[in-house]
Amino acid sequence: MSDAEIAVRALRSLDLTDLTDTCSDQAIDALCKKALDPRGPVAAVCVWPQFVKRAQDNLKGSSVRIATVVNFPAGGEDVSRVADDTQEALSDGANEIDLVLPYGALRRGDPAVAREMVEAVREMVDQERLLKVILETGELKDPKLIETASRIAIDAGADFIKTSTGKTPVSASPEAAEIMLNAIKASGKPVGLKPSGGIRTLADARIYLDLADRIMGEGWATPRTFRIGASSVYDTLIAALEGRDGAAASGAY
């Protein structure tokens, strides 16, 4: 595929994200304006729960969905609290919930709490909305643990499995994404993939789209089954669409 073709696919599958500690109302307004660019639009914006209502006001009448995060970024184990946070976010207007799996429980050999949390949140997220489960693969590290986390999330009802919060030293990696895609394929379920964190260039986006095409088949990676979670790649994708130099700079991997 040409750079422009990759850029179009990536842009339309983008969860344009602002989960910075300094996020403000003005930043959300700017984020939503980018999201609605006619060269897109992007698939969704991903914002802190307190900004869901503002994003909803900005995006009213558009196709851009509103994602927010729960149990983020620490991946705690208080199922009741996370369920309450999820209900509040949905009431505020969130279309998609990005839930951090209690990955620490998996690392110590206790998968039950992870499964329980995904199932509890799944009960609240109806079929018109999406549940994305963040595995935090950079902290799980072990390929077998990443596979186990993928399987738990899929079996418990995730619509997407997502690599990372973007808040740890290691975020998305092609190696983790490949394990996750193979778990999705083996499950036979209509589950999507969201690589997230550290995706900054067109070359990075191409890596993950190529992986999806190779493992799941060409045409699988649409916004319904494939998202890229990023904040900094947007301008690069726009540059590629406009044919400006530097858009396809070498990726991190």
Calculated CA dihedral for residues 7, 9, 15, 21, nearest 10 degrees? -20
Active-site residue (options: 15, 18, 132, 194): 194
Contacts of 10 (CB under 8 A, 6+ apart): 202, 205, 209, 228, 233, 237
- R_g of the chain computed on alpha carbons: 17
Instruction: Look up tokens 């209502």; give the residue.
Output: 53
d(CA 191, CA 184): 6
Segments in the chain forming alpha helices (H) = 3-12, 25-35, 52-59, 79-92, 103-107, 111-124, 137-140, 143-155, 174-187, 202-216, 234-241
Task: Determine the number of helices (DSSP H) and then strands (DSSP E) in the chain.
Answer: 11, 8
Active-site residue (options: 15, 98, 159, 204): 98
Any catalytic annotation for residue 53? no
Any catalytic annotation for residue 144? no
Nearest to 205 by CA among 174, 181, 180, 170: 174
Any catalytic annotation for residue 162? yes
Give, in order, the Cα–Cα distances in Å from 42 to each of 35, 60, 62, 98, 123: 5, 14, 11, 17, 27
d(CA 105, CA 246): 42
Instruction: List residues bridging with 14 in a β-sheet.
Output: 228
> Which residues are catalytically annotated?
98, 162, 194
